[in-house]
Structure 1
Amino acid sequence: MEQVLVTGGTGFVASHCILQLLQQGYQVKTTIRTPDKKDKVLEMLRTGGITNFQDIQFVVADLTADSNWSLAVADCKYVLHVASPIFLRVPKDPNEMIRPAVDGTLRVLKAARDAGVKRVVMTSNFGAVGYSHKDPTTLITEQDYTDPNEKGLSAYNRSKVMAEQAAWQFIRQQGNGLEFCTVNPMGIFGPSLGPDLSSGFELLRNIMTGAMKAIPNMVLGIVDVRDVADLHIRAMTSSQANGERFLALAGGTMSLLQMAHFIKEKMPAVGAKISTRPLADWKIKLAALLGNQKAKAVAPMLGINRNASNQKAMTVLGWHPRSNETAVLAAAESLVKYGAIQ
């Protein structure tokens, strides 16, 4: 039985990766930041239908420290590096977010190389690919990179592009034959395996609770978390994936307004509070200038070209993602299931 390390086992994507790996017969190790997180991971796996836990091991390791990474990668053929450093607030200095992301990635790659791991699959994101492409007629592909100095780029997206660039540089210069590829998802929705909901759910929750009194003109590329996990495993095992990047999106885009109308129609029991009134771009930009924090967070997202291609993952890896609507509906149902929507 081949063994796989999945970093950051409590995370939204990581929990689905672990679930699918166990379902496919792999032995799994996962890192958690503190010992008490083990029960949380086991509970999520129970939710996913796992009843036998003999094929999963836990290692306490943090991306910001060296300890236990050699133990984590020992005897593993593959590593899915999914974890990202956690920040409860947006730092004033972007380097507070960027340094741990870059250093944490290099920590994992060095440990994997030294342990003789065959391949590392890194979870990057669309922020590392397409945020410098403003022309909506341009189709964004894996060839593209976001300029980390792009005006208005969030610290989080800067951390992702710089961590990915550092990873590719490490593989070229110090990889010693370690195989490497990245998965770059767009907005991740789909079912949660537990009550701690990822940041993508907050946007949906604001729509469903009526906290968003008018809907910004924001367009998203969407992918179901189950398909993101599936793509990681395909990228892990395919001989054609080494040295490649794979954009993960269902195909096409969905605006927040379309999402609001869709949930209102599909979930009438919770749809009464949902606004379908559009909010003009100029109002958001003005509010951002006047210091409104929510507007400041949304303003850079306006006008981003999300016209991206999923053809590479489909043709090279035989990947077939669920629809945007399926992913959004499953996420909305998770919000209700875990009591985030009253």
Structure 2
Amino acid sequence: MPTKTVLVTGASGFVASYVIDAFLNAGWAVKGTVRSLAKANHLIERYPDHADKLTFVQVPDLVTGEGLEDAVKGCDAVAHTASPYTFNITDPIKDLIDPAVKGTLSVLKAAKDEGIKHVVITSSFAAVTSLPDGGPWRDYTYTADDWNPATLDDVHDLPPPAVYSLSKKLAEKAAHEFAAQHGLVLSSINPPMIYGPPLQKIASRDEVNTSSAAIYALINGDEGRDVPWNRLPLFAHVADVATAHVRALEADDDKVAGKRFLICGGSFTWEDATSYLASQRPALRSRLPTLPASPDQYKDAGKPIATLDTSLAKANLGFDSFIGWEETLLSTVDALVEIEKQFA
């Protein structure tokens, strides 16, 4: 059987790096899109044994679709991971909403025009959660039937994290609607915060991706600082997220078409993380935030944390379990400690 080829958008990103890794290990050939071919150099160097199965194409702007027609040629499936993840915005429409929605639709149109039927997109728990009801801080089990209630009418009244959440909801909605109209077999992967050792090139502290920066803040800051705010205690290991993308494109159509797969390894707070790091990585104790005197003084002590119903991912994508927070935390911190040695 000939090797199948998957197009991975945003190939130089944190999640995409793992998605590429997972597809190559599963025997696929991978074509990745990058804004600049220079961004692909470290990925090419990372996979000397896959030189014949890993190529890159320059797509400067997914919104305009420039370069996508060539990118999809010869591909059997698409894993669309590219979407802006930043809270540093000035114009919510221009900075987050349009790149997320229009970029997604550009990719899907190019896939349809090329005759590609199978697509998986990287969505988020952000598209699922209800912030007015407490988001992750509520006694509730979120399922694939839950959608973020925010609308485009709300966009100018929302803080940046909520704008990001809205962008993921609108992009995912648009993707499922497009797929239904044009007969694509499309599924979405919906993890909460994604952590894990970064594989992408990071040359300075400013280049640490947003989710990794949250963990890096535990060991990088002023002495005596407080533990950070627990914005989102739910998480998934990036390796589980990547595996879900591969399995979504390898599963039977009836198991994935139109489906939303919640991926989650559980939950932990920054107090949990700080305490665990102090016990497991004593050399880092001087770099950690200051914990309250007792657990009942933690910022969110006693508050319920929502759960995510991952039963569909287990049933249709073959997951028995997900990587836990302790392993995720330690491996991420260990990697960041090594990476920072290269910073000027």
TM-score range, shorter chain: 0.7 to 0.9
Q: Match for residue 289 of structure 1?
A: none
Q: Match for residue 184 of structure 2?
A: 178
Q: Match for residue 162 of structure 2?
A: 154
Q: Match for residue 210 of structure 2?
A: 199
Q: What is the rounded CA distance, in whole Å, between the counterparts of 1:52 and 1:164 in structure 2?
A: 32
- Determine whether 1:222 maps to 2:235: yes
- Alignment CA distance shift 1:54-1:245 (3 Å): same
How many aligned positions are there? Answer: 314
* CA displacement, residues 269-289 of structure 1 (integer Å, 9 cap, x when unaligned): 12222124249xxxxx9xxxx
Structure 1 residues without counterparts, runs of 5 or longer = 280-284, 286-302
Structure 2 residues without counterparts, runs of 5 or longer = 203-207, 294-298
Identity of aligned residues (%): 31
Find the partner of 2:268 among 243, 247, 254: 254
- Determine whether 1:234 maps to 2:247: yes
Whether the aligned pair in 2 keeps the contact of 1:6 and 1:81 (CA below 8 Å) is yes
The one-letter code of the counterpart of 2:278 is K
Q: Match for residue 318 of structure 1?
A: 318
The one-letter code of the counterpart of 1:112 is A
* CA displacement, residues 55-114 of structure 1 (integer Å, 9 cap, x when unaligned): 111110121222211111112111000011466832244443101211000000001111
The one-letter code of the counterpart of 2:179 is I
- Determine whether 1:189 maps to 2:195: yes
Once the 2 structures are TM-superposed, how far is the Cα of residue 310 of structure 1 from its aligned partner? 1.8
Whether the aligned pair in 1 keeps the contact of 2:10 and 2:16 (CA below 8 Å) is yes
> Counterparts of 1:1-342 in structure 2 under 5 Å?
1-43=3-45, 45-46=46-47, 50-61=48-59, 62-85=61-84, 89-132=88-131, 133-134=133-134, 136-149=138-151, 152=159, 154-173=162-181, 175=182, 177-196=183-202, 197-211=208-222, 213-216=225-228, 218=230, 219-239=232-252, 240-250=255-265, 252-278=266-292, 306-319=306-319, 320-339=321-340
The one-letter code of the counterpart of 2:192 is M
Q: What is the rounded CA distance, in whole Å, between the counterparts of 2:201 and 2:24 in structure 1?
A: 21
- SS of the residue 1:84 aligns to: coil
Whether the aligned pair in 1 keeps the contact of 2:15 and 2:242 (CA below 8 Å) is yes
* CA displacement, residues 207-226 of structure 1 (integer Å, 9 cap, x when unaligned): 11244811245151111111
- Alignment CA distance shift 1:242-1:28 (3 Å): same
Q: What is the rounded CA distance, in whole Å, between the counterparts of 1:194 and 1:322 in structure 2?
A: 20
Whether the aligned pair in 1 keeps the contact of 2:219 and 2:284 (CA below 8 Å) is yes
Q: What is the rounded CA distance, in whole Å, between the counterparts of 1:340 and 1:129 in structure 2?
A: 38
| Aligned-pair Cα RMSD in Å | 2.5
- Using the size of structure 2 for normalisation, the TM-score is 0.84
Q: Match for residue 205 of structure 2?
A: none
Whether the aligned pair in 2 keeps the contact of 1:257 and 1:276 (CA below 8 Å) is no
The one-letter code of the counterpart of 1:270 is L
- SS of the residue 2:313 aligns to: helix
- Using the size of structure 1 for normalisation, the TM-score is 0.84
- SS of the residue 2:70 aligns to: helix
Q: What is the rounded CA distance, in whole Å, between the counterparts of 2:341 and 2:175 in structure 1?
A: 37
Once the 2 structures are TM-superposed, how far is the Cα of residue 181 of structure 1 from its aligned partner? 0.5
Whether the aligned pair in 1 keeps the contact of 2:87 and 2:164 (CA below 8 Å) is no
